[in-house]
Amino acid sequence: MKFSVFLGNTKKVDNSDEKLVPPLAPRLVIPYEATNSANISVNGFTEVGVEVELFKNEVSIGKTQVTDSGDFAFKNISLEEGSNSFSAIAISKKAGSSDGSTPILVSFDNKIPELKIINPTESELTVDYADFDIIGESEKGASVTINGKVAVVDDDGKFKLKFQLNMGKNELEIVSKDMAGNESKKKITITYSF
Protein backbone atom coordinates (compact mmCIF):
# COMPACT_ATOMS: atom_id res chain seq x y z
CA MET A 1 0.00 0.00 0.00
CA LYS A 2 1.33 3.36 -1.01
CA PHE A 3 0.54 6.57 0.77
CA SER A 4 1.05 10.09 -0.51
CA VAL A 5 0.30 13.49 0.86
CA PHE A 6 -0.10 16.58 -1.21
CA LEU A 7 0.51 19.81 0.67
CA GLY A 8 0.17 22.21 -2.21
CA ASN A 9 1.50 25.72 -1.96
CA THR A 10 2.30 26.61 1.58
CA LYS A 11 2.32 30.23 2.54
CA LYS A 12 3.86 31.87 5.48
CA VAL A 13 1.15 33.59 7.55
CA ASP A 14 1.65 37.33 7.84
CA ASN A 15 0.11 38.71 11.04
CA SER A 16 0.99 42.30 10.28
CA ASP A 17 -2.47 42.95 8.82
CA GLU A 18 -4.31 41.76 11.95
CA LYS A 19 -6.55 44.39 13.44
CA LEU A 20 -5.93 45.18 17.06
CA VAL A 21 -9.04 45.21 19.20
CA PRO A 22 -9.44 48.19 21.55
CA PRO A 23 -9.83 47.38 25.26
CA LEU A 24 -13.22 46.89 26.85
CA ALA A 25 -14.77 49.85 28.64
CA PRO A 26 -13.86 50.04 32.34
CA ARG A 27 -16.42 49.46 35.10
CA LEU A 28 -16.69 52.21 37.71
CA VAL A 29 -17.59 51.37 41.31
CA ILE A 30 -19.10 54.11 43.47
CA PRO A 31 -21.14 52.53 46.28
CA TYR A 32 -23.61 55.38 46.79
CA GLU A 33 -25.80 57.74 44.78
CA ALA A 34 -25.57 60.68 47.17
CA THR A 35 -23.03 61.95 49.67
CA ASN A 36 -22.48 64.88 52.00
CA SER A 37 -18.71 64.68 51.51
CA ALA A 38 -17.10 67.15 49.09
CA ASN A 39 -14.45 64.60 48.05
CA ILE A 40 -14.80 60.94 47.07
CA SER A 41 -12.76 58.06 45.68
CA VAL A 42 -13.73 56.53 42.35
CA ASN A 43 -12.66 52.90 41.94
CA GLY A 44 -13.13 50.36 39.20
CA PHE A 45 -11.72 47.52 37.17
CA THR A 46 -10.79 46.77 33.57
CA GLU A 47 -8.21 44.88 31.50
CA VAL A 48 -4.66 44.58 32.79
CA GLY A 49 -2.01 46.65 31.01
CA VAL A 50 -4.09 49.69 30.13
CA GLU A 51 -4.39 53.24 31.39
CA VAL A 52 -7.74 54.63 32.57
CA GLU A 53 -8.89 58.19 32.02
CA LEU A 54 -11.65 59.48 34.32
CA PHE A 55 -14.21 62.09 33.29
CA LYS A 56 -16.43 64.19 35.57
CA ASN A 57 -19.32 65.90 33.80
CA GLU A 58 -17.62 65.02 30.47
CA VAL A 59 -14.35 66.78 31.40
CA SER A 60 -11.15 64.76 31.85
CA ILE A 61 -9.88 64.94 35.42
CA GLY A 62 -6.97 62.51 35.30
CA LYS A 63 -5.37 59.25 34.21
CA THR A 64 -4.01 56.29 36.14
CA GLN A 65 -2.41 52.93 35.41
CA VAL A 66 -4.34 49.74 36.11
CA THR A 67 -2.86 47.37 38.72
CA ASP A 68 -1.76 43.81 37.89
CA SER A 69 -5.17 42.60 39.06
CA GLY A 70 -7.09 45.03 36.80
CA ASP A 71 -8.11 47.49 39.53
CA PHE A 72 -7.75 51.25 39.49
CA ALA A 73 -8.52 54.10 41.88
CA PHE A 74 -8.80 57.86 41.70
CA LYS A 75 -8.53 59.40 45.17
CA ASN A 76 -9.77 62.71 46.55
CA ILE A 77 -12.01 63.66 43.62
CA SER A 78 -13.84 66.92 44.38
CA LEU A 79 -17.57 67.10 43.76
CA GLU A 80 -19.67 70.00 42.58
CA GLU A 81 -22.89 70.85 44.44
CA GLY A 82 -25.73 68.79 42.95
CA SER A 83 -25.34 66.04 40.38
CA ASN A 84 -21.93 64.79 39.18
CA SER A 85 -21.63 62.34 36.27
CA PHE A 86 -18.59 60.02 36.14
CA SER A 87 -17.39 57.91 33.22
CA ALA A 88 -14.07 56.46 32.10
CA ILE A 89 -12.23 55.02 29.11
CA ALA A 90 -9.46 52.44 28.94
CA ILE A 91 -6.47 53.39 26.77
CA SER A 92 -4.15 50.83 25.18
CA LYS A 93 -0.88 52.07 23.64
CA LYS A 94 -1.27 49.60 20.75
CA ALA A 95 -5.02 49.24 20.27
CA GLY A 96 -6.40 52.69 21.06
CA SER A 97 -9.24 53.64 23.40
CA SER A 98 -12.32 51.81 24.60
CA ASP A 99 -15.84 53.09 24.44
CA GLY A 100 -16.88 55.14 27.44
CA SER A 101 -18.03 53.32 30.55
CA THR A 102 -21.61 53.44 31.73
CA PRO A 103 -21.98 56.84 33.45
CA ILE A 104 -22.57 56.87 37.21
CA LEU A 105 -24.32 59.81 38.88
CA VAL A 106 -23.35 60.96 42.37
CA SER A 107 -25.18 63.81 44.07
CA PHE A 108 -23.29 66.08 46.46
CA ASP A 109 -25.60 67.53 49.11
CA ASN A 110 -24.26 68.98 52.36
CA LYS A 111 -27.40 70.84 53.42
CA ILE A 112 -29.43 69.46 56.32
CA PRO A 113 -32.99 68.49 55.40
CA GLU A 114 -35.86 70.70 56.48
CA LEU A 115 -37.78 69.30 59.44
CA LYS A 116 -41.06 70.94 60.40
CA ILE A 117 -43.27 69.56 63.16
CA ILE A 118 -46.97 70.28 62.54
CA ASN A 119 -48.40 68.31 65.47
CA PRO A 120 -47.64 69.07 68.23
CA THR A 121 -47.03 72.75 67.66
CA GLU A 122 -45.22 73.13 70.99
CA SER A 123 -41.94 71.56 72.06
CA GLU A 124 -43.42 70.73 75.51
CA LEU A 125 -46.99 69.81 76.31
CA THR A 126 -49.21 67.72 78.60
CA VAL A 127 -51.97 65.46 77.27
CA ASP A 128 -54.57 63.14 78.83
CA TYR A 129 -54.47 60.37 76.18
CA ALA A 130 -51.83 57.73 75.33
CA ASP A 131 -52.10 57.56 71.52
CA PHE A 132 -50.48 60.66 70.04
CA ASP A 133 -50.06 61.47 66.33
CA ILE A 134 -46.72 63.06 65.46
CA ILE A 135 -47.21 64.87 62.14
CA GLY A 136 -44.66 66.85 60.17
CA GLU A 137 -42.87 67.60 56.93
CA SER A 138 -39.35 67.00 55.72
CA GLU A 139 -37.36 66.96 52.52
CA LYS A 140 -38.74 64.83 49.70
CA GLY A 141 -36.96 61.45 49.75
CA ALA A 142 -35.76 61.79 53.36
CA SER A 143 -36.35 59.13 56.01
CA VAL A 144 -37.86 60.10 59.36
CA THR A 145 -37.59 58.27 62.67
CA ILE A 146 -39.18 59.08 66.01
CA ASN A 147 -37.27 57.52 68.91
CA GLY A 148 -35.97 54.97 66.40
CA LYS A 149 -39.39 54.07 64.97
CA VAL A 150 -39.72 54.65 61.24
CA ALA A 151 -42.40 57.10 60.13
CA VAL A 152 -43.91 56.70 56.67
CA VAL A 153 -42.93 59.67 54.49
CA ASP A 154 -45.08 60.35 51.41
CA ASP A 155 -43.92 61.68 48.03
CA ASP A 156 -44.30 65.28 49.24
CA GLY A 157 -42.15 64.74 52.35
CA LYS A 158 -45.10 64.65 54.79
CA PHE A 159 -45.03 62.10 57.60
CA LYS A 160 -47.24 60.82 60.39
CA LEU A 161 -46.61 58.32 63.18
CA LYS A 162 -48.99 57.26 65.94
CA PHE A 163 -46.86 57.15 69.08
CA GLN A 164 -47.87 55.23 72.22
CA LEU A 165 -47.06 57.46 75.19
CA ASN A 166 -46.00 56.10 78.56
CA MET A 167 -47.45 57.54 81.75
CA GLY A 168 -45.44 60.59 82.78
CA LYS A 169 -42.79 62.41 80.78
CA ASN A 170 -41.99 61.16 77.22
CA GLU A 171 -38.88 62.53 75.52
CA LEU A 172 -39.22 62.22 71.74
CA GLU A 173 -36.43 62.75 69.24
CA ILE A 174 -37.50 63.23 65.63
CA VAL A 175 -34.71 62.69 63.09
CA SER A 176 -34.88 63.43 59.37
CA LYS A 177 -32.07 61.98 57.24
CA ASP A 178 -31.65 62.68 53.53
CA MET A 179 -30.09 60.37 50.91
CA ALA A 180 -26.69 62.04 51.35
CA GLY A 181 -26.64 61.34 55.10
CA ASN A 182 -27.40 64.87 56.34
CA GLU A 183 -29.57 64.96 59.48
CA SER A 184 -31.98 67.34 61.18
CA LYS A 185 -33.15 66.65 64.74
CA LYS A 186 -35.91 68.06 66.92
CA LYS A 187 -36.85 67.13 70.47
CA ILE A 188 -40.31 67.20 71.97
CA THR A 189 -41.39 66.46 75.53
CA ILE A 190 -44.93 65.15 75.97
CA THR A 191 -46.24 64.46 79.45
CA TYR A 192 -49.06 61.93 79.62
CA SER A 193 -51.26 62.51 82.65
CA PHE A 194 -54.95 61.78 83.19
CATH 2.60.40.10 range(s) for the chain read 20-108, 115-192
CATH 2.30.140.10 is the classification of domain 115-192: no
- Span 61-99, pLDDT tens digits: 999 999 999 999 999 999 999 999 999 999 999 999 999
The whole-angstrom separation of Cα 119 and Cα 161 is: 10
- Spatial strand order of the sheet with 124-127 comes to 115-119, 131-138, 158-164, 149-153, 143-146, 168-177, 183-192, 124-127
SS3 124: strand
Assess whether pLDDT exceeds 80 at residue 181: yes
Q: What is the CATH number of domain 20-108?
A: 2.60.40.10
Per the CB < 8 A criterion, the answer to whether 153 and 174 are in contact is: no
- Span 124-148, pLDDT tens digits: 999 999 999 999 999 999 999 999 9
Assess whether pLDDT exceeds 50 at residue 5: no
